[in-house]
A and B are shown apart, each in its own frame.
Chain A
């Protein structure tokens, strides 16, 4: 059988195309699957947090969050959820988001900007849901204390300079409040 060079190139390109499509489809399937789930996967954002008792009433004692490694957070707008770290400091709880200045970070993490616009959120810890308002913290002495707690708990290597430069965004998970719709301080 006569096979010319053009045919060989065409076949190689077709095989390469399929090999490229395999990881693309695999990741696409995972992303779509997570998007319609109750909660996120490790990498991909998930759908709204539906399951779990919605805790209302007085502010909980958040000290139990010291032993929690990951939490699920859903913004109300857009209603998507993701897995995040959490620390507790002096009765308040905080989240962070790293890599905010790099290309991958901008591509990967859009929720911090969304949270800054509209901070209304639902937090799910150990199967219980809590209404919260995300408030970005950009400076202040408290950043040192929160960074120290992140470093103790996760060995995150977090510094105040990273927060102040915008490389790392820090949020307080404040109580739900009609007067607060996201923002920063």
Chain B
């Protein structure tokens, strides 16, 4: 049979979606790391925000 039907097809669709979700999530997370490390100013910006938060929380 060329096409699956019913629960088998739905399970196949779900696994396909999950696989793509993890791929996209992985790409996004790797992109975040690379941007933070290599785009000038991004790291400083994040650290500035973190420093303000920590100073506020610590006082």
Contact = CB atoms under 8 A, between A and B. Distances in A.
A33 B47 CA distance: 13
A62 B44 CA distance: 30
A29 to B, nearest CB: 5
Contacts, number: 58
Interface string A17-39: 01001100111011001000000
B13 A26 contact: no
B58 A102 contact: yes
Interface stretch (A41-49, A52-60, A136-144, A171-179): A41-49
Contacts of A7: 14
Contact of A18 (B13, B28, B47, B48): B28
12 contacts: A11-B21, A14-B25, A18-B28, A22-B29, A25-B36, A27-B50, A29-B33, A30-B46, A33-B36, A43-B51, A98-B58, A104-B54
Interface of A: 1-2, 7, 11, 14, 18, 21-22, 25-27, 29-30, 33, 41-44, 98-99, 102, 104-105, 108
